[in-house]
Amino acid sequence: MRIVIDRLEEWLMAALLAFMTVLTFVQVVMRYVFNTGWLWSLEATTYSFAALVLIGMSYGVRTRTHIATDLFTRKLSEPLQRKVAILAILACLVYAALMLYGSVVLVDRLMTLGNDARDIPAPKWLLTITMPLGFVLLGYRLLEVGWQLFRHGTGGLASGQQHAPAVDEKSDHQGDNP
């Protein structure tokens, strides 16, 4: 089950990115070659983009790709380091909770207004629901990482340092982190 969910995240992110890219490319070709285009294309791209980022936030916690600095924590003693790391996770949880509250209010507001998106024939709240969902997932992954750190003292947030997070030995698909 876990493996399925983990794979699903990756599959979804890859699909969204491919969809956005192909759609924008096709739009360019249609406009300059055939002089037509789909009205909904841009909106579909931006909502996919939002979904990609929002789903990806929690994936980033799991794969430790978020950049953090360990310049100062690195110098602390090990038990103290662990306490600070748990503190950092708590800060992230506060963040996730506040953002979740804000996005629930946003979706609720959009439901009350009941507007459709500009070009896509779908209600706006439905397209925005990826945001509360994203922050719930973020909170869940943070709790998971925090619990593991608390119980077993392993893992932690982020890559732990600003060491090129995208560069890992086992794959050639090296990062593009500027």
Partner 1 sequence: MTAAFLLTALFVLLFVGVPVAVSLGLASVLTMLLFGDQTLLSSSQKFFHTMQVYPLLAVPFFILAGTFMTTGGVARRMVAFANALVGHFRGGLAMAALLASAFFAAVSGSAPATVVAVGSVMIVGMVASGYTRNFAAGVICNAGTLGILIPPSLVMVVYGAITESSIGRLFIAGILPGIILTVVMMITVTVIARKQDMPRQERASFKVVVKTFREALWGLMLVVIILGGIYAGIFTPTEAAAVSAVYAFFIAVFVYRDISMPDVPKVLVEASKITVMLMFIIANAFMFAFLLTTEQIPQMASELIVGMGLPVWGFLLVLNVLLLITGNFMEPTSVVLILTPIVFPIAMEMGIDPTHLGVLMIVNMQIGLVTPPVGLNLFVTASVAKLSLEETIKASFPWLLVLLGVLVLITYVPWISLVVPNLLLD
Our CB check for partner 1 shows the closer of 84 and 136 to be 84
Which of 123, 69, 76, 132 is closest to 104 using CA atoms?
132
CB of 95 to partner 1, least distance (A): 4
Our CB check for partner 1 shows the closer of 25 and 147 to be 25
CB of 22 to partner 1, least distance (A): 7
Our CB check for partner 1 shows the closer of 66 and 148 to be 66
Please name the amino acid found at residue 99: M
Our CB check for partner 1 shows the closer of 114 and 178 to be 178
CB of 93 to partner 1, least distance (A): 10
CB of 120 to partner 1, least distance (A): 13
Greatest extent of the chain over all pairs of C-alpha atoms, in Å: 65
